[in-house]
Structures are given as C-alpha cells and as structure tokens.
C-alpha cells in the first residue's frame, strides 16, 4: 500500500501542467511576487515547491500560497544576469508557463518541541505558506540586508510574537524597528536561545544553512533540523 501511494505521488509531481501569469508586483529592488493560475487538479502541502520548465532550464520555487488558495503565489529573487528570474520579471501578463510539482518534503511536522524557522532573503517564502496555513507558536529569524527586504513582516507580526528580523548590515534607522537584531541568525541563536530541544527549519543560502546546522549539532543535541537550500 505504501509503495503504491508513493508511486502515485511521484507520478503526480512529475506531471507537466500549464499556468498563466496573472500579476506581478515588486517587493524590493531585488525581489518580486507573482500570481499564477492554479490548475484545478493541482494539490500541494505548505512548504512544497513547483519546478518551472523553460527550454532546457528547470527552476524550483517555494509556494507562498496556502493549499486552499485559488491561485498560486511565488516570491522570486531577481538576478539581473540570471537565466530564469529575468524571464519572470519581464514576462507580459497572460504569458504561459509549464511546471511540475508539487516537489519536496520541506513541510511542517507537528511535535512537542519549540519550532524555529530560519530564513535568508526570499527563503522566507515557505514560512509564509506555513504561517498562513495555521502553523503558530514559532520563532522566525529572517536574515536581510535592508528594511525593504522584510517583504512579509506584517503577516508574521499577526501570527507570532517571536518574529525577529536579523540585519546583516547596519541600517540607518533610529529608532530601529522593534524586535530587530543586528547580526546573523547564528549570532541570535547563540545569544538568545536557551538550551533545549528544538525543531529547526532552515531555508535560504547554503552558507546560512551550514552554519546553523553546525551550531545545532554543537549546542542543541536532540534537536531536529529540516532544510531547503534556495540558492
């Protein structure tokens, strides 16, 4: 039975589907959000990704949407000289794209341990989906370089009292936004998390994930780590 279910899920995730660009809005100088038509047969779990197919390219993006939303939303890191993000940045509304999915196992697993979400940049996307899908009582550390990179600050402030923007560079604001931390996620964890067992969910840059994972192994034995490398 288990093998049959797994096989069916794999067949579904590899099915090529077509969508259409409904809208695009810029969140900052380096990131934008797009809305896409959701195929009627498409089902997913919060935290999963879709994979765009364009000529020989494949690009994965985590869904911002909840499983009940009528449309699909994505947060895209714009790389001006990249191979795919400029296509999404410049595509006309109504453009059609092919994709497969859902992909991945970066989904929320309920447990008795405290949940700690750690994101860098647009790696915050799957946590938007999880939070809007009903996950609460989590700590969220979001590594950014400027205030404009806190794309979904208002959403998280409504869901959790433990939303911590971690500024990697000094910001010229006085007073600084409440609850902010100057330094990366590793520094915050070292100075603010008490010894305990946690569930760490890490999404974003490879170096951030590596550093946090090493710290967890060193200081928080018995904790679980779930990762999604974004770029």
Is 57 found in the same domain as 141? no
Token pair belonging to 215: 């710290």
Whether pTM exceeds 0.75:
yes
Buried b (16+ CB within 10 A) or exposed e, 7-19: eeeeeebeeebeb
Give the lowest-confidence range in 1-10, 115-124, 155-164, 190-199.
1-10
pLDDT at 197: 97
pLDDT at 112: 95
68-104 pLDDT tens trace:
999 999 999 999 999 999 999 999 999 999 999 999 9
pLDDT at 175 over 80: no
Is 130 found in the same domain as 53? no
Is 80 found in the same domain as 149? no
pLDDT at 216: 97
In a domain, 225, yes or no: yes
Supply the angle between the helices 185-192 and 206-219 in degrees, to the nearest 10.
Answer: 20
Ramachandran sector of residue 134 (left: φ over 0; alpha: ψ -120 to 50; beta: rest) = left
Q: What CATH code is carried by the domain that includes residue 94? A: 2.40.30.10
Is 129 found in the same domain as 90? no
- Rounded distance, CA 50 to CA 73, Å? 11
pLDDT at 116 over 90: yes
Token pair belonging to 125: 């996307």
Task: Tell me the average pLDDT across 145-152.
Answer: 91
Task: Tell me the average pLDDT across 45-72.
Answer: 96
In angstroms, how far is the first alpha carbon of the chain from the final one? 36
pLDDT at 169: 78
| 2 CB-side CA count, 13 A | 0
Residue carrying structure tokens 């911590």: 164
**Burial grade of 115 (CB within 10 A; 0-12, 13-18, 19 or more):** buried
Contacts of 148 (CB under 8 A, 6+ apart): 27, 28, 29
Domain range spanning residue 133?
Answer: 114-229
In a domain, 69, yes or no: yes
| 41 CB-side CA count, 13 A | 9
Q: How many angstroms separate the most distant Cα atoms in the chain?
A: 60
């Amino acid at each position: 039975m288990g093998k049959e279910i797994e096989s069916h899920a794999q067949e579904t995730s590899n099915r090529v589907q077509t969508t259409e660009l409904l809208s695009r809005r810029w969140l900052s100088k380096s990131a934008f959000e797009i809305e896409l038509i959701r195929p009627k047969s498409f089902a997913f779990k919060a935290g999963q990704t879709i994979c765009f197919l364009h000529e020989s390219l494949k690009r994965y993006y985590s869904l911002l949407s909840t499983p009940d939303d009528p449309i699909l939303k994505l947060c895209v890191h714009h790389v001006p000289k990249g191979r795919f993000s400029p296509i999404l940045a410049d595509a006309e509304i109504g453009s059609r794209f092919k994709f497969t999915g859902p992909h991945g196992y970066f989904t929320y697993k309920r447990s008795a341990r405290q949940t700690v979400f750690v994101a860098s940049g647009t790696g915050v996307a799957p946590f938007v989906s999880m939070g809007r899908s009903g996950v609460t009582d989590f700590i969220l550390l979001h590594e950014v370089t400027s205030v404009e990179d806190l794309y979904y600050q208002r959403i998280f402030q409504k869901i959790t009292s433990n939303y911590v923007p971690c500024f990697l560079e000094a910001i010229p604001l006085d007073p600084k936004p409440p609850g902010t931390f100057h330094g990366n996620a590793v520094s915050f964890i070292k100075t603010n998390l008490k010894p305990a067992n946690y569930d760490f969910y890490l999404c974003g840059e490879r170096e951030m994930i590596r550093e946090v994972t090493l710290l967890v192994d060193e200081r928080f034995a018995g904790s679980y780590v779930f990762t999604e490398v974004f770029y």
